[in-house]
A and B are shown apart, each in its own frame.
Chain A
C-alpha cells in the first residue's frame, strides 16, 4: 500500500503506532488470537523505546494553534479529547476498526486513534467541531439532521467527517463513492441509508432532503 500524507513517518524515532500495527497485522493474520495481546505489548514497548518523557507538540486544530507536552505514546485522539476538550471525536475501538475517531488531517480523513499526536506535529487537523456548530452547521451536518442519518449519535461525528472529507475532494460522488468513503465507519444503530441520503443531498447542495 502506497503511503500518503495521512500516514507520515514518525519524525523522531521512525516508529509509528500504525507502522507497528501494520507489521503485527501481517504477523497475526494466521493467528488472530494473539492480536490483542501483541497490541498491548506494542504500546508498552513503544513507550519503553521512547524513554524521553513528554515532548512538545503544536498542531493547528480547527484553525486554532494547540500546543501541549505529550508522552510519545499519546494518540491524536487522546490529545484532542483529554487535553484540548474536543470530545466530539469519539473513540469506539481504539484500534482503527470502527472509524468513530475520524478527523481530517490536512484535509484527508484519518483515524485519530491510530495516529500518535507527535505524528500530527505542525499539521492541520479538523474535527467535527471545526466543521460547524449547532447554530451554524456545515451543509453535510445539516443534511445529516434532515435525513435523520443518526440514532444514538456516537458514530455520527466520524461519519460526518468521513463524508466531509469525501465531498472536499469529490464534490459529486457516486453512490458507491459514498459507501466506500464510510466503509471504515461502523454504525450499530443502522443509519447507513440516512448517511447515503445525506451525503448525496449535501453534494447536490440541497441539505433539505426528505427521505420517502
Chain B
C-alpha cells in the first residue's frame, strides 16, 4: 500500500512552533493554523446562562408529572450484616405504596440499599420507609485501611473480585491481580531500570504520605426520573453520560438500546460520580414499570455521602534515588487505598507521567473495607499521587538546600511545563521566597503568629478521546441552524463552545446556533469524565460545520454564478467578485427542506505528546497559634491546546483549584471504627470550601498547538485540580517549617506538628 499523503502542520508553543508531518484522515478538515480563529478562543457569556440564573433550567430533581411517584431507598444502618427478615406489611397498607425488593441476603456497608419503594409524595415514601421493619444479624466489620490490611481482619469479600470500570476511569487494562485477605494487588507497572537508577544514586530518601476519603458532593444529588411510554423506557438522568446510563439500563433490564431514551438537559454537578444508572436508577425504572406511573428517584444528601461514590483514601510510599545536583535517578513507589467495597485506588499515574524520572517502579493495591464504594473522581488517583511525589521532591530540595523550583526544573524535560513554571513563578513572585523566609524568622523572634509561604506543584493529565463521537449540523430553509450531539452538560458549559465552532465556520453570530444536547437520540457523544468532552467533540463539531459550509457554498455557487472556491462566507454574507447573498437567501435555495451535514471524530494524528501539563503556585498565611491555614492566592498556568471557549476553560480552572484547596485543608470523611458507621454524611460536618475560604485565583493559559486533531482541542477539568493540594501543602511547609504528610492539613495537625498542644493518649 502506498504511503498516505502527509500534511505539514505547525505544532508546539506559539512563538516556538515546529513543523510536523501528519496524516490527516480522509474527510477531516486540516487543523487550525496558528492565529487563524476569529470566533473561538475568546471569552463570552455562556449561552444557557440566562436559563440557569433565572431558575428556568430544568434538572432531573425538577421533573414533575401528574400522578408521579417519589421513590426512596431503605438503607442498611450496619457496616456488615445478614438480612434475616423484612416485614413490610404495615407499609404495604399505606395508600399508593409499591415496593422493589432485590432480595439481598447480605449488606456490606453503612448505607447499602436493602429495598426501594415509591409513594405519591416524598413525605409519604419516607413514612413508608419508617414502617418497614428489617431484622439484621450484625457481622464483624473492618472500616480502616490499616485494620483491613491486617491478617485475620473480617473479610469484605470471600471470593476474588474483578475490577469494574466506569466511563470516568483512567483507561487501561483492568488487570487481573492477586487477592489475599482484603488486599487486592499489588498491580505492578513502571519503566526503566530502577535497580540501576538506585545504584547510580548519590543518596536515597523515602517519604510516606496519606490522604483521606473525599466525597464528590455535587449540589444536585444522584437522581433519575423514569417513565414507561409503551415498551419504551424514557429517562431523565442527572448524569455525566447520557449514553452510559442508556447502556446500563438496557443491559440490566434486557432492553434493546432503541427502547431506552435518556435525557440530561442540565446536570447539577458530577465530578466523576455520575456515569451509570446506578442501583437507584434501576429501582426507579422497575418501580415505574410496576406502578404504571412515572417515578422520580432523588437521593438525599446523606445517601449521596454514604453510597454514591467517593475518592478513595490512600497511603503512599515514595523512595527516591538522587544525584547531589538534584537529578532523580530512580523512584520506587507503592500505594494502598480503600474504595470501600469497590476497586480502583491506584495513585501511581502521576509518578509515571509528570516528570522525566528515568526509572519508575509502581506497585498499587486496593484494600477492601466495609464502606460505600469509591469511584472515579476528578483526575482519579492524581491529586493523591501528586501530593506524594511533590512532597518527596520538596523533601529532597530541603535535604540538598536547593530551591524547590530549581529542583523541579532539573527533572522536568517538558518544554510546555518549563514555560509554565517560568510564567507562574513570575506571576506569584517566587523571587520573594527568601525574603518571606526572613520575615517568618523575624515573626517567630517577635512572637507574632502569622507566617507566610509559597509553594508549587506540577499537573499532568492525558488526552483521552471517546471514539465514535459524531455531530450533526442541520441548516433549514429559513436560515436557522442546529447542532446536535447527545452529550450532557455537567457544568463545563459545552453548548457554548459547540455553538462557537459552528458559528466560526458558518460566519454567523454565536447565538444563531441552536445547540441541542443531552438526549440519547442524538448522535453519540462522550461521557464527561477524564477531560474527554471537548477533545472528543470539538473536532467532530468542526468537521460537521466545515461540511455544512461546503454544501452551502455549492448552493451559493449556483446563486452567484461564481465558483464555490472563490466565495467568502463571513458575517452572515456570501460574497465574491462584487456579488453577494446573505445567509438566509442562500438557505432559501437549499435543494431540500433541510441541509444535513455530519462530522465524525477522526482518529488522532500520530506523533505528538498526549500529556496535558500545568503548574500551580500557592501563597498561604498560617496562624501558628490557631493552626488555621488561609490560602491567599493561587496562580495556575495550564495548557489546554487551543481553548475553544476561554471563559469556560478559566471557570473550570477556578473550580479545579477550589476543589483542590478544599481537599488540602477541609475534607475528611469520619468513620466510627466501632460501629462502622460514617459520622458526617452531610455538608455540616463534612466541610467543603466556602465563600470565605476562596482566595484570589489567576488562571493563565499558554498558547499551545498540540497537533492531535483538527481543532487542537483538549480538556482542562482534571489537570486543573491535580496539583492544588500539593502546592498548598508545600506553601504551608515554607510558612511553618513543618512538612505536611497527611491531608487534610487541619489546624489540629498543624498544632500537633508544632508541638503546641499536649499529646493525647489515643486508644487503638
Residues of A at the B interface (CB closer than 8 Å) are 32-33, 35-36, 40, 43-44, 71, 73-74, 78, 81-82, 85-95, 97-98, 100, 127-129, 131-135, 137, 141, 144-146, 148, 150-157, 160, 178-180, 182-183, 185-196, 210-211
> Does B407 touch A at the CB level, under 8 Å?
no
Which residues of A are found within 8 Å of B220, using beta-carbon distances?
90, 92, 152, 154
Distance in angstroms between the alpha carbons of A146 and B50 in the assembled complex: 10
Distance in angstroms between the alpha carbons of A71 and B270 in the assembled complex: 34
Further 10 A-B residue pairs, CB within 8 A, beyond A97-B684, A128-B53 = A32-B679, A33-B672, A82-B64, A90-B268, A93-B301, A98-B219, A141-B54, A153-B491, A154-B218, A188-B271
The answer on a CB contact under 8 Å between B679 and A33 is: yes
Separation in Å of the A181 CB from the closest CB of chain B? 8
Q: Give 5 closest A-B pairs by Cβ, nearest first.
A: A88-B55, A154-B268, A190-B655, A190-B658, A152-B491
> Does B650 touch A at the CB level, under 8 Å?
yes
Q: Given A186-B683, A188-B688, A189-B269, check contact A148 B54 (CB 8 Å).
A: no
Which residues of A are found within 8 Å of B56, using beta-carbon distances?
88, 129, 133-134
Chain A, Cβ-Cβ closest to B653:
A190
The answer on a CB contact under 8 Å between B219 and A188 is: yes
Could you say which of B54, B216, B658, B690 contacts A137, with CB atoms under 8 Å apart?
B54
Q: Among B32-40, B165-173, B568-576, B691-699, which stretch is in contact with chain A?
A: B691-699
The answer on a CB contact under 8 Å between A137 and B647 is: no
The answer on a CB contact under 8 Å between B271 and A182 is: no
The answer on a CB contact under 8 Å between B692 and A132 is: no
Separation in Å of the B2 CB from the closest CB of chain A? 49
Which residues of B are found within 8 Å of A95, using beta-carbon distances?
301, 682, 684
Separation in Å of the B642 CB from the closest CB of chain A? 19
The answer on a CB contact under 8 Å between B50 and A97 is: no
> Does B492 touch A at the CB level, under 8 Å?
yes
Separation in Å of the A66 CB from the closest CB of chain B? 16
The answer on a CB contact under 8 Å between A97 and B683 is: yes
> Does B648 touch A at the CB level, under 8 Å?
yes
Which residues of B are found within 8 Å of A85, using beta-carbon distances?
64
The answer on a CB contact under 8 Å between B54 and A133 is: yes
Q: Given A87-B64, A153-B52, A179-B694, check contact A186 B650 (CB 8 Å).
A: no
Separation in Å of the B117 CB from the closest CB of chain A? 16
Chain B, Cβ-Cβ closest to A143:
B53
> Does B58 touch A at the CB level, under 8 Å?
yes
Which residues of B are found within 8 Å of A89, using beta-carbon distances?
55
Distance in angstroms between the alpha carbons of A193 and B61 in the assembled complex: 26
The answer on a CB contact under 8 Å between A189 and B121 is: no
The answer on a CB contact under 8 Å between A97 and B691 is: no
Separation in Å of the A176 CB from the closest CB of chain B? 9
Distance in angstroms between the alpha carbons of A51 and B681 in the assembled complex: 31
The answer on a CB contact under 8 Å between B51 and A134 is: yes
> Does B485 touch A at the CB level, under 8 Å?
no
Could you say which of A146, A151, A178 contacts B45, with CB atoms under 8 Å apart?
A146
Q: Given A183-B692, A189-B491, check contact A150 B682 (CB 8 Å).
A: no
> Does B43 touch A at the CB level, under 8 Å?
yes
Distance in angstroms between the alpha carbons of A97 and B691 in the assembled complex: 14
Q: Given A74-B123, A145-B45, A210-B43, check contact A188 B659 (CB 8 Å).
A: yes
Distance in angstroms between the alpha carbons of A15 and B445 in the assembled complex: 56
The answer on a CB contact under 8 Å between B683 and A90 is: no
Which residues of B are found within 8 Å of A137, using beta-carbon distances?
50, 53-54
Separation in Å of the B264 CB from the closest CB of chain A? 12
Separation in Å of the A20 CB from the closest CB of chain B? 16
Could you say which of A82, A127, A188 contacts B55, with CB atoms under 8 Å apart?
A127
> Does B12 touch A at the CB level, under 8 Å?
no
The answer on a CB contact under 8 Å between A134 and B50 is: yes
Separation in Å of the A118 CB from the closest CB of chain B? 14
Q: Given A152-B491, A190-B654, A193-B654, check contact A88 B682 (CB 8 Å).
A: no
The answer on a CB contact under 8 Å between B49 and A144 is: yes
Chain A, Cβ-Cβ closest to B219:
A154
The answer on a CB contact under 8 Å between A187 and B491 is: no
Within 8 A of A (CB), among B67-90: none
The answer on a CB contact under 8 Å between B690 and A157 is: no
Chain B, Cβ-Cβ closest to A100:
B219
The answer on a CB contact under 8 Å between A192 and B302 is: no
Could you say which of A73, A129, A210 contacts B123, with CB atoms under 8 Å apart?
A73
> Does B349 touch A at the CB level, under 8 Å?
no
Which residues of B are found within 8 Å of A36, using beta-carbon distances?
302, 681-682
Chain B, Cβ-Cβ closest to A176:
B692
Could you say which of A82, A148, A152, A195 contacts B648, with CB atoms under 8 Å apart?
A148
The answer on a CB contact under 8 Å between A154 and B269 is: yes
Chain A, Cβ-Cβ closest to B267:
A152
**Chain A, interface SS category:** loop
Distance in angstroms between the alpha carbons of A65 and B218 in the assembled complex: 34
Separation in Å of the A32 CB from the closest CB of chain B? 5
Q: Given A100-B219, A188-B688, check contact A154 B53 (CB 8 Å).
A: no
Which residues of B are found within 8 Å of A190, using beta-carbon distances?
654-659, 689
Most A C-beta atoms less than 10 A away, residue of B123, B221, B493, B680:
B123
> Does B266 touch A at the CB level, under 8 Å?
yes
The answer on a CB contact under 8 Å between A188 and B130 is: no
> Does B179 touch A at the CB level, under 8 Å?
no
> Does B46 touch A at the CB level, under 8 Å?
yes
> Does B738 touch A at the CB level, under 8 Å?
no
| 18 A-B pairs whose Cβ atoms sit less than 8 Å apart in the complex | A32-B679, A32-B680, A78-B122, A78-B123, A81-B64, A82-B122, A137-B54, A145-B49, A148-B651, A150-B46, A152-B219, A152-B491, A186-B683, A186-B690, A188-B218, A188-B271, A188-B659, A192-B691
The answer on a CB contact under 8 Å between B62 and A87 is: yes
Chain A, Cβ-Cβ closest to B490:
A152
Distance in angstroms between the alpha carbons of A157 and B659 in the assembled complex: 21
Chain B, Cβ-Cβ closest to A158:
B219
Which residues of B are found within 8 Å of A151, using beta-carbon distances?
269, 491-493, 651-652, 655
Distance in angstroms between the alpha carbons of A190 and B502 in the assembled complex: 29
> Does B685 touch A at the CB level, under 8 Å?
yes
Which residues of A are found within 8 Å of B651, using beta-carbon distances?
148, 151, 189, 191, 194
What is the 8 Å Cβ interface bit string for chain B, positions 470-510, against chain A (1 contact, 0 not)?
00000000000000000001111100000000000000000
Distance in angstroms between the alpha carbons of A128 and B657 in the assembled complex: 28
Separation in Å of the A3 CB from the closest CB of chain B? 21
Which residues of A are found within 8 Å of B684, using beta-carbon distances?
35, 95, 97
Separation in Å of the A204 CB from the closest CB of chain B? 18
Distance in angstroms between the alpha carbons of A148 and B271 in the assembled complex: 19
Separation in Å of the A109 CB from the closest CB of chain B? 14
Which residues of B are found within 8 Å of A196, using beta-carbon distances?
691, 694
Chain B, Cβ-Cβ closest to A73:
B123
Distance in angstroms between the alpha carbons of A151 and B267 in the assembled complex: 10
Which residues of A are found within 8 Å of B266, using beta-carbon distances?
152-153
Distance in angstroms between the alpha carbons of A98 and B130 in the assembled complex: 26
Distance in angstroms between the alpha carbons of A92 and B650 in the assembled complex: 25
The answer on a CB contact under 8 Å between A191 and B655 is: yes
Distance in angstroms between the alpha carbons of A82 and B122 in the assembled complex: 10
Which residues of A are found within 8 Å of B647, using beta-carbon distances?
148, 211
Separation in Å of the A64 CB from the closest CB of chain B? 15
> Does B193 touch A at the CB level, under 8 Å?
no
> Does B59 touch A at the CB level, under 8 Å?
yes
> Does B217 touch A at the CB level, under 8 Å?
yes
Which residues of A are found within 8 Å of B352, using beta-carbon distances?
none
> Does B57 touch A at the CB level, under 8 Å?
yes
The answer on a CB contact under 8 Å between A160 and B53 is: yes
Could you say which of B49, B217, B268, B301 contacts A148, with CB atoms under 8 Å apart?
B49
What is the 8 Å Cβ interface bit string for chain B, positions 199-226, against chain A (1 contact, 0 not)?
0000000000000000011111100000
Chain B, Cβ-Cβ closest to A182:
B691
Within 8 A of A (CB), among B647-671: 647-648, 650-652, 654-659
Distance in angstroms between the alpha carbons of A68 and B548 in the assembled complex: 53
Most A C-beta atoms less than 10 A away, residue of B58, B269, B679, B680:
B269
Separation in Å of the A128 CB from the closest CB of chain B? 4
Chain A, Cβ-Cβ closest to B49:
A145
Separation in Å of the A81 CB from the closest CB of chain B? 7
> Does B319 touch A at the CB level, under 8 Å?
no
